[in-house]
Structure 1
């Protein structure tokens, strides 16, 4: 049920119907806000009313959402960008004005081993200072790093970690690859985690690259192998199946594994695969047809997807497609309080921030 809407970089608008929505739906305008980025990974809306971005080579910057002016904040010297690895996820402290802390995840070389760590910095108004390592020794690789961050309403930090190219790690609860981790904002382990002393929150993940809270419900997007890219609702202690289960528990072997291992099935899956990456939640009146939807940046199919959720948020009721093939591979999406949408591309050649607004 995908309706395709195509726009160009000059800001043309479209009045095509989006999946049969009523005529009162807002028309959209898209423009290139800024360009000349190199493999940006994270884009988020900061409490300072600026966009914050990471680039895989190690750069963290702020971007003016009106002019597109980029202000570099820091370049982290120990970041090692290898394949799809490098500087990846970032999130800001929810009480940023009082506690200006910036949480980042990146890959580096540790004793000759490619490794991921989670580091907390303090923003001093100009740059990032006082690095504190919160979590280390997460296996990394040139592929399947996952590495999106989110902070829950009760102020716990969640981290997605892919299997780092070794699928068996995902089912090994003693290995931090192929997991979603949960830690306190000071790096300690919450007492109510599934395994005492372990950051593990869920396991059986292949390469989860999107993560967003909607209230206290946590959604994740995940790359499948040759089939079954997924949208999951993450649950405490649950097994999400990889590599024994791809998508739903549909084959006889999968059904047997699922019944024994308490596997949580996705709420939506794609075959053929689309390569889903960053997600954010849209619930603003500015674009009414997107209310109560996940917005998903897609790499292989080079598009933005609107995933319309059911009223209770437990199902994806409709999928609508935007900008397919217009801007190239899309890595992440952010939403401003005014309801404007910002998308980063991921081609490695003149990457851009795309701004989508309601047409005046």
Structure 2
């Protein structure tokens, strides 16, 4: 018999201090769904990325450089690779991963991680081939991105037109987020061979958007791309990305609303783009995914996000246009510690990875009464 814990979410307490909203952006609301929660796997060491693979396994990175496939029914893991030159620090190591959309015919796995070159701490994107249940033939697509102990990003996404998107952090060097000659503090867009697409907004540059601090969430919903971004002490953000858009960092944190910092004037001069939602104090907003499955009807047309510092899963209800967050519900509040990533199965089950620096877990959320 499965070891389920049933959580009646109507009884979950809400900490309204983590939400900073403006008129028209919605309110924090109590959830009414009930969840069944099952620990699929424990004993992990800081999983960073989990994604649902075409084989109906969960594909997973761990910060130490390990790449594995996880059977979501049995919890069995199969290691398929180990990145040899990964450099692990407090917040560096093996991070994001994405699979080629046509994986059956093009079995490529893309990863991003930090490494060391002499005294320099750097970051790169590498493509592996997957054959006979092992990763091989690493091909470097981008390298030399400045890394740091913190603020490294980094999520990967492949769009339907086969472009690779990469989020980068500012590497704790704030001013570079506004400089087009730096890859830090940006959302990058590349061809799958690492070359620069001709239709990028800045000539001969992989930069798609700029002015970001530390983006650790990335999802594409139809033609709309959303990112989740860590703020300093204020203003974690969910952003709707525009081609060539400037999101303000370090001149602006969150909304363009602080006269003392000159945020309003800066945004007017530079056409700064405000977030869809911000959180003050910060909650360590991390992964993003899009939910539109019938298993949880109340979650349809929602972004799901994980929180590190505030230790919870958030449901961000979108309006019909996808341009506003009209409500926020919270789940797993302070129950499993820091939550790093999530993925969604074709049937609508949600899987969440913890990030507690030891004995981390993959948790399954399904509807109450679902077998």
Q: TM-score normalized by structure 1?
A: 0.94
Structure 2 regions of 5+ residues with no counterpart? 13-28
Partner of 2:5: 11
Partner of 1:240: 247
How far apart in 1 are the matches of 2:342 and 2:93? 19
Partner of 2:73: 66
Partner of 1:326: 335
How far apart in 2 are the matches of 1:154 and 1:258? 31
- Figure out how many residues of one structure are paired with residues of the other and give that number: 349
Alignment check: 8 A CA contact 2:163 2:190 kept: yes
Partner of 1:297: 306
Task: Give the C-alpha shift of residue 10 in structure 1.
Answer: 4.8
Partner of 2:57: 50
Within-5 A mapping of 1:168-247: 168-247=175-254
Shift in alpha-carbon separation, 1:216–1:323, aligned structure 2, 3 A? same
Q: Look up the SS of the partner of 1:41 in the other structure.
A: strand
Task: Give the C-alpha shift of residue 17 in structure 1.
Answer: 7.1
Alignment check: 8 A CA contact 2:30 2:329 kept: no
How far apart in 1 are the matches of 2:109 and 2:9? 40
How far apart in 1 are the matches of 2:348 and 2:331? 17
Task: Give the C-alpha shift of residue 111 in structure 1.
Answer: 3.1
Partner of 1:307: 316
Partner of 1:353: 362
Within-5 A mapping of 1:82-97: 82-97=89-104
Partner of 2:174: 167
Shift in alpha-carbon separation, 1:162–1:15, aligned structure 2, 3 A? closer
Alignment check: 8 A CA contact 1:149 1:158 kept: yes
Task: Give the C-alpha shift of residue 112 in structure 1.
Answer: 2.4
Partner of 2:19: none
Partner of 1:341: 350
Structure 1 regions of 5+ residues with no counterpart? 1-8
Cα RMSD for the two superposed structures = 1.3
Task: Give the C-alpha shift of residue 13 in structure 1.
Answer: 3.3
How far apart in 1 are the matches of 2:263 and 2:120? 34
Partner of 1:6: none
Alignment check: 8 A CA contact 2:9 2:331 kept: no
Partner of 1:123: 130
How far apart in 1 are the matches of 2:75 and 2:273? 41
User: What does the per-residue CA deviation read over 1:250-294, in whole Å, with 9 as the maximum and x for residues that have no partner?
Assistant: 023101111111211100001111110011100000111111111
How far apart in 1 are the matches of 2:7 and 2:308? 23
Task: Give the C-alpha shift of residue 147 in structure 1.
Answer: 0.6
Task: Give the C-alpha shift of residue 28 in structure 1.
Answer: 1.4
Partner of 1:132: 139
How far apart in 1 are the matches of 2:328 and 2:316? 5
Partner of 1:256: 265
How far apart in 1 are the matches of 2:70 and 2:132? 14
Task: Give the C-alpha shift of residue 20 in structure 1.
Answer: 6.2
Alignment check: 8 A CA contact 1:13 1:28 kept: yes
